[in-house]
Chain A
Amino acid sequence: MTQLLLNIDPSLVDWSRAQFALTAMFHWIFVPITLGILFIIAIMETIYVKTGDPEWKRTTKFWMKLFGINFAVGVATGLILEFEFGTNWSNYSWFVGDIFGAPLAIEGIMAFFMESTFIAVMFFGWNKVSKKFHLASTWLTALGANISALWILVANAWMQYPAGMEFNAETARNEMVNFWDVLFSPVAINKFLHTVTSGYVLAALFVIGVSSYFLLRKREVLMAKRSIIISSVFGFLAILSVIFTGHGSAVEVAKHQPMKLAAMEGLYKGGEGVELIGFGILNPEKTADNDVDPFVFKFGFKGMLSYLISFDSKSYVPGINDLLKGDENHNVISVEQRMEKGDIAMNALIAYKEAKASENAEEAAVQLAIFKENFSHFGYSYVDKPVDVVPNVPMVFYSFHIMVILGTLFVLMFIIFGWMTMKNKIDKFKFSKLLYYLGILGIPLAFIASEAGWIVAEVGRQPWVIQDLMTTTAGVTNISSSSVQLTFWIFAFIFTGLLITEVSIMIRFIKAGPAKPENDGGTEL
C-alpha cells in the first residue's frame, strides 16, 4: 500500500461499486431482449416480405411494439453507464482512457447512429418507405444494436485482460500500441459471442414465454406457434454458441484470472486432476485462513475441471490458497511477493517522475527500467493484505452454478418447444398446460441466468478494476461517500420506477394482444 491512497474512504468504493452494479444490472435487463428480439423480428419480417402473408406482418408488428416498449429504458440506463466511468471512476478513466475510450467512441460512431437512425424508420416507416427499405432498416437496427454490444464488450474484456497496450511513465497512463490486439483479444471474442448469444437465448425465451401465455389462453394460436418455432430454432443455435464460448471464456479465465476460476468452483486447495463441481453447498464458515472443508455437500466430476481447461484431466489448477501463498512447484508467485514487486514498481515510478522533474536523466532511466521489470505486479501496490485479492466466493460460486444449471434447462426447453410445435402437438397432448407454465417461467429464469453471468464476470474479478494493474480503490473518483450514496438512491428510485412502469405497460399490451388483422385478409389455422 502506498502513501498515495491512504485517504480513500472504503465506503466510497463500496457505494461507487454499488452504483455501477445497479446501473449495469438494470441496463442488462433491457439490453439482452433488444439484442435478440431484433433478429427474431427481422427473420419474421423477411418471411413477410417474401410471402406477402399479412399474418406475418401482424406478428412482426406485435413483437416490434413489445420491443419498442423495452428499448427506451435500455437507452436511458446506457447513457448513465457510459458517463459513470467519468463521474465515478475518474482515476480509472485517466489510467486507461487511451485504450478504453476508443471502443466507446467507435461504438457511438459505428453503432449507435445506425441503431437510432433505422429504428425510426422501423417504427414510423411502415407506410412511408418501400417494403424492402423497411426490411433493410429492421436488419440494420439489429446489426447496429449488436455492433454496439461488440465495442462495449471489447472494452470490458480489456479490463479483464489488458492486451495491446504499454504503460507510459511520462503520462502515468496505459497507452494503446496495437488496436488489433485489443479488438481480437481471445478474451474479447469469447466475451462478445458469449454475451450477445446469451442475449439471443434470453430473447428467445421471452418470445416463447409470451407465446405460451397466448396458447394457454387459446388466443392468437397461429402467431404463438410460429413465434415459438422461430425462437426455438434461434434460441437452440444461440445456446450452443453460449456453451461453446462459455467454455472458451473459462479457458481464458484460467489463463488470465486464475483467482476468478478458483472462486467460481469454490476451489481452495488446487492440484492436479481437479474435479468439476456439478453442484454443491458451500460451508459458510470457510475462509482462506482456516482449514474447514469448503463444502457441506457437493457432487462433482473427477478430473473434469482440469480436462475442460486444458484437455488434460491430469493438468494443474491452482486453488485460492495456492494463489495466495504461492506454489513453487507450479510457478505460482504468492500474493505477498507480488505486493512487494508492486511496491517496487510504484516507488520506481515516483522516483522516475522526481528524477525527470529534476532533469536527472540517468537516474530516470534506472528507475524506469526497475518500473518496467515489475510492472505486471503494479496493481498489487494498492493491495492492503493478501486476502483482499480473493473475491466473494459464495456469490461467484452460486452465480456460476445457477447459470450453468439453468443453461442446461434452456437447451431442453428449446428442443421440447421446437419439436412439439413443429409437430403441431404442443396444444394437443396431456401436459400442454404444464409446458405453457414452464414457458412462462422461462422468462424470469432467463433473466436470473443472464444477470448471474455478469455477477460471475464482475464480482469474480474483484478487487481489480483492471486485472493486476488497478484496484477499485485506486480507480474511484475522489468525492464524498455521501454524494455517491445520494446518487445511488436517486438512480435506484428512478430505475425502479421505470422498470415497474415498463412491466405494467408490457403486461397490458400482451393482454390486449396484437392489432386486429388488416382488411387485406388474414390467414386461417
Chain B
Amino acid sequence: MEYTKEILSFLAWPVLIYVAYRLSLVALNIFRKNSEKTINAK
C-alpha cells in the first residue's frame, strides 16, 4: 500500500507509550527490591 511506511511510523507512537508504561513497571519493581534491601541492611 501507498502509505504503509507512514502508517507504521505513526503506530510507533502508541507503542512508545505502552512500552514506557511496561518498562516503568519493571523499573519500579527493581527500585522496590533495592530499597527493601537498603532498609534490611539498616
Query: Which residues of A are interface residues toward B (Cβ below 8 A)?
Result: 39, 43, 46-47, 146, 180, 184-186, 189-190, 192-193, 196-197, 225-226, 229-230, 232-234, 237-238, 241, 245, 248, 418, 421-424, 428, 525
Number of B interface residues at 8 Å Cβ cutoff, please give it.
26
A229 near B17 with CB under 8 A, answer no
User: Which B10-41 residues have a C-beta within 8 angstroms of A?
Assistant: 10, 12-13, 16-17, 19-21, 23-25, 27-28, 30-31, 34-35, 37-39
6 A-B Cβ contacts within 8 A? A189-B9, A196-B13, A225-B35, A421-B31, A424-B34, A525-B39
Closest 7 CB pairs of A and B: A184-B6, A424-B34, A184-B3, A234-B20, A424-B35, A230-B24, A233-B23
Q: Which residue of A lies closest to B39 (CB)?
A: A525
A181 to B25: give the CA distance in the assembly, Å.
39
A226: chain B residues at CB < 8 Å are: 28, 31
Contact of B17 among A39, A47, A225, A428 (CB under 8 A): A39
Q: How many pairs, one residue from A and one from B, have CB atoms within 8 Å of each other in the complex?
A: 77
Q: What residues make up the interface of B, taking CB atoms closer than 8 Å to A? A: 2-3, 5-7, 9-10, 12-13, 16-17, 19-21, 23-25, 27-28, 30-31, 34-35, 37-39
Most buried by B among A47, A193, A229: A229
**Interchain CB contact under 8 A, A193 and B12:** yes
Q: How far is the CA of A146 from the CA of B16 in the complex (A)?
A: 13
Q: A43-B21, A233-B23 are in contact. Are A525 and B16 (CB under 8 A)?
A: no
Taking a contact as CB atoms under 8 Å apart, the answer to whether A233 and B27 are in contact is yes
CB neighbours of B6 from chain A (8 A): 184-186, 189
Residues of chain B within 8 A of A245, CB atoms compared: 9
| A525 x B35 contact (CB < 8 A) | yes
Contact B34 A423 (CB under 8 A): yes
Residues of B within 8 A of A192 (CB): 10, 13
